[in-house]
Amino acid sequence: MTLKLPLDALHRQDNAHMAPFAGYEMPIHYSSIVNEVKTTREATGLFDVSHMGEFFLTGKEAKKALQYFVVSDVSSLKNGKAQYSMLCNEKGKVLDDIIFYQIAEDHFLICVNASNVEKDFQHIKTILEKKSFDCVLIDDSANWGIIAVQGPTSFDVMEKSFGDLQLKEMKPFEFKEITLQGEKCYLAKTGYTGEKGVEIFYAAKGGDSRLASFLWSNLKEKGGVPCGLGARDLLRIEAHLPLYGHEISEDVTPLDCHFSFVVNFEKEDFVGKQALMNHQTQKCELKLSLEEAPARSIAREGALIFRSDDVTNDTKAVGKITSGGHSPTLGYGIAIASVDKEFKTQDSFWVEIRRARQKAVVVKGRNFLTKKKK
């Protein structure tokens, strides 16, 4: 059975193109993906991401347990702070990337990818039982929703909608509890677009849409523009942010991707530590620009990468595209790629697109947005 978001009726009223994703009917776009990307880069985009999973970990040894089942160091985390990390299995392979929020020393909110809710819950629960940690894990995903408010004018839209929230005083990966319509919400300065913004975790109470409708309607009235998953995907590629099933999966370790820095080997122990310490990295992650390729050349996921354009002599692929698309912000094709480690210093590659090889240049810097808009 396909699940519906608390805001499903409002999305349909706005003529959203809906499609199944991670078990939910999700808005893919409203006007056009290009317009929605530009809106988020220039003003404020609203994203309904209530399909994401929410776990609560509570109890005397909650932090100790968290320290063991994630690869990052949780020990110095403070109340009101969030951290990005990864769940790995004993082989060091990535089960999911997550963000967790420390509400108190014995109380954590863990946000997981929608497609991995059941898998992640069983994985963590098994660890807690095996190690006899004194804490409780609850999957409360059905009772929470998330609205992401992203873009350069997002703070203005938020404060016009809900009053002075002192957003400018919040630092990245900070969050706080607020009350809206008499309901507890968490306001987090975490996002997935590379833009300024916040995410509102709100009480959905089994899919109840009243609070969701209040939030969404107010944000729209004050200038927020509804955007779908299509724009969200292009925005995160431009910002060089990973997506489970693309840059990360159970086929790779954290050491094989751009976010390997989350692994902390100084910790006494964590799930997958020994395997990761013994791991010999064979792949590296690169950002590729197709600015020199013909207009609208798009390197889709799975497209093969070669060292040269010589089809006769260079027939062995040295990598593949994990995510790609036409960037509305830059005006040309971009892609994230996994390439054999021995070629990590190469300045350019050739990507096979529709049986023809197109030149792709390696992009330096943290993300694609460091390049000037054309």
Mean model confidence pLDDT for the chain: 96
| Number of Cβ atoms within 10 Å of the Cβ of 365 | 10
Count the neighbouring beta carbons within 10 Å of the beta carbon of residue 178. Answer: 15
pLDDT for residue 373: 44
Q: Do domains 3-53+142-238 and 282-370 have the same CATH topology?
A: no
Q: How many CB atoms lie within 10 A of CB 221?
A: 11
Residues 330-373: tens digit of each pLDDT: 999 999 999 999 999 999 999 999 999 999 999 999 999 986 44
Q: pTM of this prediction?
A: 0.96
pLDDT digits (tens, 9 = 90+) for 56-95: 999 999 999 999 999 999 999 999 999 999 999 999 999 9
For 220-223, the CB contacts below 8 A with 24+ separation are 220/46, 221/161, 222/157, 222/160, 222/161, 223/43, 223/44, 223/153, 223/156, 223/157, 223/160
Domain 3-53+142-238, CATH homologous superfamily name and number: Probable tRNA modification gtpase trme; domain 1 (3.30.1360.120)
Domain assignments of the chain as residue spans, ordered by start: 3-53+142-238, 282-370
Q: What would the pLDDT profile of 119-149 be if each residue is shown by its tens digit?
A: 999 999 999 999 999 999 999 999 999 999 9
The per-residue pLDDT for 370 is 83
**Tokens (6 digits) for 179:** 């009350």
Residues 6+ apart with CB under 8 A from 176: 80, 170, 186, 187
**Given this model, what pLDDT does residue 371 score?**
62
Asked whether 202 and 140 are in contact (CB, 8 A), the reply is no
CA dihedral sign, ordered 218, 41, 21, 55: negative
Residue-wise DSSP of 224-236: -EEE-HHHHHHHH
CATH match for 282-370 among 2.40.30.110, 3.30.70.260, 3.90.1150.10, 3.30.1490.20? 2.40.30.110
Nearest CA to 288 out of 355, 227, 367 is that of 367
